[in-house]
Amino acid sequence: MSAEPVGAAADLRVDQVTLTVIDNYLATTCREMGLAMMRTAYSPMFNESLDFSCVLFDKHGRMIAQAEFCPSQIGTIKFTVEWMIDELGADVYQPGDVIVMNDPYRGSGHIPEHTLLKAVFHEGEIVAFVANCAHLAEPGAKAPGGLAGDATDIFQEGLRLPPLWLQRQGVNQEDIWKIIFANHRTPKVTYGDLMAMIGSLTVAERRLTSLIDTYGLDVFHTATEDLIRIAERRMAEEISKIPDGEYSFSDVIEDDGVVEGDYTIRCDVVVDGDAVTCDFTGSSAQAAGPMNATYAVTASAVYNAFLHITDPTIPRNQGCYRPINIVAPPGTIVNCEFPAALVGGNTEVSPRITDIIFGALADALPDRIPASLGGTSCCFLFGGAHPDTGELYSHFHFEGIGWGGRPDKDGNSQIIVINGNCRNTPVEVFESRYPIRVESYRLLEDSGGAGRNRGGLGMERILTIDADEITVSALFNRMTVDPFGLHGGQPGRNSGIYMRPAGAREWQTFSEAFGTMSPSKFSNVVLRRGDQVKLVAPGGGGLGDPLEREPERVLADVAEGLVTPAAALDSYGLEVARANGSWSVVGAPGRTER
Amino acid sequence: MASKRIGIDTGGTFTDLVCFDADTGSVSSLKVASTPKAPTEAFIASITESGAPPAEIDFLVHGTTVATNALIQRAGARVAFVCTAGHEDIPYIQRVNRQYLYDLSWDKPRPLLRSRRHCLGVRERMDARGEVLVPLEAEAIDELCDRIAEIEPEAIAVCLLFSYLNTAHEERLAAELRRRFDGVPLSVSHEVAPIWREYERSSTAIADAYVKPLMQRYVGSLETGLAEAGIGIDWAMMKSNGGLMDASAAADHPVHLVMSGPAGGAVASEHVADLMGLDNLVTLDVGGTSADVSLILGGRAGYTTSYEIEWGIPAAVPLIDIGTVGAGGGSIAWVNAGGFLQVGPRSAGADPGPVCYGAGGAELTLTDANLVLGRLDPGSFLGGRMQLDEAAARAAAEAMAGPLGMAPAELAHSIVEIANENMANAIRMVSIERGHDPRHFALLAFGGAGPLHAAAIARKLGIPRVVIPPYPGSFAALGLLLGDLRVDKLWTQGYRSDRVAASEVIARFDAIAAAATAELRAQGFDGEPELSYAVNMRYLGQNYETEVEVPPLGSATGAASAQEQLERAYAAFHAEHESMYDYVIRDAVIEMISFRVTAVGAIPHPALARVSSADPDPGRCREVFFGGYGRVETRLIRRPAMPIDEVIEGPAIITEDGSTTVVEPTMTVRRTDRDVLVVETG
């Protein structure tokens, strides 16, 4: 990797307008890649949830553009592509070659996430790389849907692909495809999704070629180098605005699906001038179950935190990561070693790390840092044979959560976790694909942590099994450890996953019903027709003392059904009553402690 | 003999009328002040002023921003939203993704509902095959109606799960709601947008309901006004997709009118692009209140079905892709808390209007600034029908300039510069932000104030050429007359290529083509309709379908068998997929999702006549202020008097009824024989 050092005073060599045009053109290209994938892919993971990212690299493998995709994938793909080019070499590609890789021990976030890479040629020379990274719903793991909550090593988590040629000069390499098809439960969907990814690379290749035809190769190279310089300089400027100091925070992952007990993640954030170091020394040893992050996942989560608390207009490329240093001791939960299981690191540990960085900086940046977000992807996996067709299906379902109360306003309700930017799957699409009915899907009142600024609300979804047999797995967090509040705010309500056998009245945890070690992380539990599952997504933490919340805002929340009258009294110290269609505070001006 | 065809475009500040006489081929245009508080007045006044005798008016098309403004300003109705029980939070949960990455200050958009408590579930349920799981019982409807009554809604939107597959429950519910809430407008999702995905369908139905009471009142008052004026013809409105729709039908489907106003400008721009052989244009339409910008690529305006009222609040109807910014002639200049001069987005509108209108306006506007700089000729505004009060504008500029420590001309110039920068930003949004370099485009400017600012904006953006069409002040109204009657008939039913009975599909196409033609006839069209056919298809397993224009389908289309006709449709899909994504899956089963027949009834369009050299007008001269030059002696030329194809050096001011074109020093201008002005910005 020829990452040339860049002085802060380096002059830009391309004029501002051209730079802006090219920067926006590249981001638009990423968006168009995403659109092509959405429109042509087979699995709802792709076409409804948009669990993928499209990214452009220069000829050295340095990231030059991204768009509004999943932050965790954007952070890891930087490592994935570096790894692939390092391992394969710089000169082995032919026009039309497409290379696939999903090995977490080579930079991938976890096995379900497959990265495709293609070199872009101009007059016979490689001038750029285009890549996308997407979560395949079926990676051939021990559990349908891939995220086995109780996996004990990487081999249970699916088919691991080192960098392999999926296409050579535009021709499918049948041997590789056959191996993949033989190992995935849903080969047709895998084929459709991988073809959609390849199509998206073609779109990017065409757009980049057209850009280079317009501006010339020199301007393209010079402009992308300038953009990386600008991003690095601006990120350094942003970091230098954070007061120097050492800030620490820790939180725990409640269990790993295999053994009981907490895993601590600790981070010392050291801000020194225009650079920052995040040191995870003191974090727990790697987990026995799948709650491990690789170095790439940890780094990606740290980048995600810093991008959230710095100027959102910094160009998003390799440069903005350079001032951020990460220390993650090998063999710990934040830098696990082969062959540890790790599929939950990318969905669960990643947002926790981001929250821990926020927590560490809460006092240093009191006007920016929110309370904890719900902080789990609420992964619910299932598969089986579809009663209508007999064909195998498998799906990775997740939920939005409440985000934490912010220094100046409430947290958003029901938004996807901070490491992703996926959409939910519409009920009409979900039920068209899978033999499960969605009985209800609603915001959960009182789930947002009380505070001067309330945490956003979580949700509750009730599902009914509509097939003789479905195999389900789960990977949840925050079921016992609260999403923390800040500055006197209360925690958000916990997550949960429960079941109720057909005809029964009471909800049970999966531990109670099936004896799983963990109520929140398990795999391959068989449910029958009429059984119901209740998924509960956590709320965000509150920020500031709830007693300082203006009564009219509490009343508005009660009127909207976001806070119950009982919680208005318990958490906010206000007795409220409804008369003539509107809510008001009754009795004395609140309770004595208010 | 009724031969006059009239287009009326109502903007926030002016109402523009274009009249085309089909017998003589003549085109005339005029502009009157809008009357936002009583919109009918300006509408009728413009017809009266045109002098067209009511009996001679054959056809009338209207474009309006009423629906758009209500949506953007959140000034619509109190809507009760009815959905399948258990799913009441659809409008509030939305799709759970974020507009921006890495922005903690971002807020999830609010739905167009006043309260989460206005979302009411009704016990019923269809499954994914369109079969009834839970019947819709009378008691459930009764109970629902009681709760609706408590809300006292001004409109009701209904979206039940899987109604795009089986409309029975929505139809039954709609019938009951119409009966029990007589006079309360109703929007039913399978009628508004028969698409799958409950959030998108709900949001579109809610948007439709949200503006329906307003649009029905509006169209009703125009009907009354027309009747009182003795004009009893059928009239049409321009839809957001550039097609025309019978006015009363349009009022019942107002979500299709969100881009009604600006669509006329886009249709007319396509016409000019075609006329001049220009493939790539940036269009800039500056009126009194706002500036609309769009791109013409390869000669065609961009279309989108992914319209969003704001990010995350979709209205899934087809429309022309147009961006809007609050900058227009009426934009008010003000000083913010930090002491910085700002222009807009607040507008003086038509009432009271700019200071120079002398109608009580006291706040300095962009129009006043242009007048102070000498760029507007006070005697020839609106064809001389409105005398501008130059002294009043100058006095207002002096009053504002003093505390800022500026000379009045300097202040006026700053105001124009800021407005130009705002409009240039709007162009950057649709071009640079999407990766199109404006330096490779021409700028087509229209609207009363577009030609006044176009040269300076083009200079800012490095755009080499500015094009000013004929009738720039009424160009969008002209576009209303360039649209055709258009009926789209959509039929949603899923088929798989491996199981379909081809003859059933072909017979159905015959039926929809007949229905589309009948609807055109009902709108008074008696010519031969142009029919086009499209099928939404995807590979079995894909989730998004691609609309593919297919060769004519139906039993009357020739010798091909039904199966052969479908094979041609599949081939068209493979070809489209390959051209868009570079691959095909030949042996995959193809799913057909929905079928569309579009019947277009071509109506006579005004032609842009060739013009010949008029007697050269020596013109007058006037001092005009240009940045970097100060006051420069500048020629004032009447556009009709400009010689053809003669290059005139700037600076120059070209005046005409309804607009003024500024040509800066070092630029040149030329008038073509189609009466198009071409400014080379150098």
| Residues of chain A contacting residue B152, judged by C-beta atoms under 8 Å apart | none
* End-to-end CA gap in chain B: 50
**C-alpha dist (Å) from residue A153 to A136, A256, A376, B229, B241:** 20, 12, 22, 83, 56
B115 to chain A, any CB pair closer than 8 A? The answer is yes
For B541, which of A42, A399, A400 is closest by C-beta distance?
Answer: A42
Nearest C-alpha of chain A: how many angstroms from B99?
Answer: 8
pLDDT at res. B1: 58
| Residues of chain A contacting residue B163, judged by C-beta atoms under 8 Å apart | none
Nearest C-alpha of chain A: how many angstroms from B364?
Answer: 32
Nearest C-alpha of chain A: how many angstroms from B284?
Answer: 20
Nearest C-alpha of chain A: how many angstroms from B583?
Answer: 7
What residues in chain B have per-residue pLDDT under 50?
A: none
For A68, which of B85, B101, B116 is closest by C-beta distance?
Answer: B101
Residue B18 maps to a domain: no
Residue B667 maps to a domain: no
CB contact under 8 A, A39 and B97: no
> For B523, how many CA atoms within 13 A lie in the half-sphere containing its CB?
30
Specify the pairing of strand B79-84 against strand B155-159: parallel
Q: Give yes or no: residues B397 and B506 share one domain.
A: no
Choose from B83, B90, B93 for mutation: most chain A CBs within 10 A.
B93
pLDDT at res. A1: 32
pLDDT at res. B34: 87
Nearest C-alpha of chain A: how many angstroms from B152?
Answer: 12
For A560, which of B93, B115, B544 is closest by C-beta distance?
Answer: B115
**If you measure CA to CA, which chain A residue comes closest to B433?**
A24
pLDDT at res. A3: 34
CB contact under 8 A, A416 and B97: yes
Q: Which pLDDT band, with edges at 50, 70 and 90, does A593 fall under?
A: low
Specify the pairing of strand B79-84 against strand B119-122: parallel
Mean pLDDT of A237-249: 97
Residue B21 maps to a domain: no
CB contact under 8 A, A428 and B162: yes
Residue B342's DSSP bridge partners are: B334
For B581, which of A40, A409, A428 is closest by C-beta distance?
Answer: A40
For A21, which of B102, B116, B432 is closest by C-beta distance?
Answer: B432
Classified as helix, coil or strand, A202 is helix
B306 to chain A, any CB pair closer than 8 A? The answer is no
Radius of gyration of chain A (CA): 24
Specify the pairing of strand B313-314 against strand B308-310: antiparallel
Residue B283 maps to a domain: no
Nearest C-alpha of chain B: how many angstroms from A2?
Answer: 28
CB contact under 8 A, A437 and B539: no
Structure tokens at A521: 């992380």
Partner A, chain B 157-176, Cβ-Cβ below 8 Å: 161-162, 164
Residue where a domain terminates, one of B583, B601, B619: B601
**If you measure CA to CA, which chain B residue comes closest to A48?**
B543
Q: How many CB pairs under 8 A join A and B?
A: 176
Residue B53, preceding peptide bond in cis (omega within 30° of 0): no
B583 to chain A, any CB pair closer than 8 A? The answer is yes
B437 to chain A, any CB pair closer than 8 A? The answer is yes
Q: Give yes or no: residues B85 and B179 share one domain.
A: yes
Residue B361 maps to a domain: yes
Domain span at residue B109 reads 77-211
CA distance B56 to B420: 42
Nearest C-alpha of chain B: how many angstroms from A408?
Answer: 9
Nearest C-alpha of chain B: how many angstroms from A153?
Answer: 32
pLDDT at res. A225: 95
pLDDT at res. A11: 66
Residue B623's DSSP bridge partners are: B633
CB contact under 8 A, A24 and B433: yes
Tens digits of per-residue pLDDT, A257-312? 999 999 999 999 999 999 999 999 999 999 999 999 999 999 999 999 999 999 88
Choose from B195, B461, B582, B584 for mutation: most chain A CBs within 10 A.
B582
CB contact under 8 A, A428 and B89: no
Nearest C-alpha of chain A: how many angstroms from B467?
Answer: 23
| Residues of chain B contacting residue A307, judged by C-beta atoms under 8 Å apart | 101-102
Residue where a domain terminates, one of B167, B186, B211: B211
| Residues of chain A contacting residue B133, judged by C-beta atoms under 8 Å apart | 437
For A199, which of B197, B198, B581 is closest by C-beta distance?
Answer: B581
Residue B514: which CATH number?
A: 3.30.1490
For B198, which of A310, A414, A426 is closest by C-beta distance?
Answer: A426
| Residues of chain A contacting residue B96, judged by C-beta atoms under 8 Å apart | 399-400, 414-416, 422-424
| Residues of chain B contacting residue A441, judged by C-beta atoms under 8 Å apart | 86-87, 89-90, 93
pLDDT at res. A589: 54
Nearest C-alpha of chain B: how many angstroms from A156?
Answer: 28
**C-alpha dist (Å) from residue B677 to B294, B427, B465, B558, B593:** 20, 21, 10, 48, 47
For B98, which of A42, A421, A424 is closest by C-beta distance?
Answer: A421
Nearest C-alpha of chain A: how many angstroms from B619?
Answer: 39
For A441, which of B93, B117, B539 is closest by C-beta distance?
Answer: B93
Q: Which pLDDT band, with edges at 50, 70 and 90, does A4 fall under?
A: very low
Structure tokens at A304: 């995600």
Residue B269 maps to a domain: no
pLDDT at res. A371: 98
CB contact under 8 A, A196 and B585: no
Helices (H), A309-368: 343-344, 350-361
Residue B224 maps to a domain: no
Q: Which pLDDT band, with edges at 50, 70 and 90, does A50 fall under?
A: confident
CB contact under 8 A, B117 and A413: no
Residue A339, preceding peptide bond in cis (omega within 30° of 0): yes
Which DSSP symbol is given to A349?
I
pLDDT at res. A9: 35
pLDDT at res. B581: 80
Q: Which pLDDT band, with edges at 50, 70 and 90, does A6 fall under?
A: very low
By the 8 A CB rule, do A430 and A444 touch? no
CB contact under 8 A, B199 and A426: yes
Residue B292 maps to a domain: no
Residue where a domain terminates, one of B566, B601, B636: B601
| Residues of chain B contacting residue A562, judged by C-beta atoms under 8 Å apart | 116
**If you measure CA to CA, which chain A residue comes closest to B200?**
A426
pLDDT at res. B485: 83
Query: Is pLDDT above 50 for A8?
Result: no
By the 8 A CB rule, do A75 and A304 touch? yes
Q: Give yes or no: residues B507 and B586 share one domain.
A: yes
Domain total of chain B: 3
Nearest C-alpha of chain A: how many angstroms from B141?
Answer: 19
| Residues of chain B contacting residue A395, judged by C-beta atoms under 8 Å apart | none
Nearest alpha-carbon partner for A519 in A505, A501, A532, A536: A536
Tens digits of per-residue pLDDT, A185-213? 999 999 999 999 999 999 899 889 988 98
| Residues of chain A contacting residue B543, judged by C-beta atoms under 8 Å apart | 41-42, 44, 47-48, 429
Helices (H), A41-130: 44-47, 71-88
* Structural domain spans, chain A: 16-233, 370-543, 551-585
Per-position DSSP letters for A95-116, written without gaps between them: TT-EEEE--GGGT-SSTTEEEE
CA distance A298 to B643: 71
| Residues of chain B contacting residue A429, judged by C-beta atoms under 8 Å apart | 196-197, 543
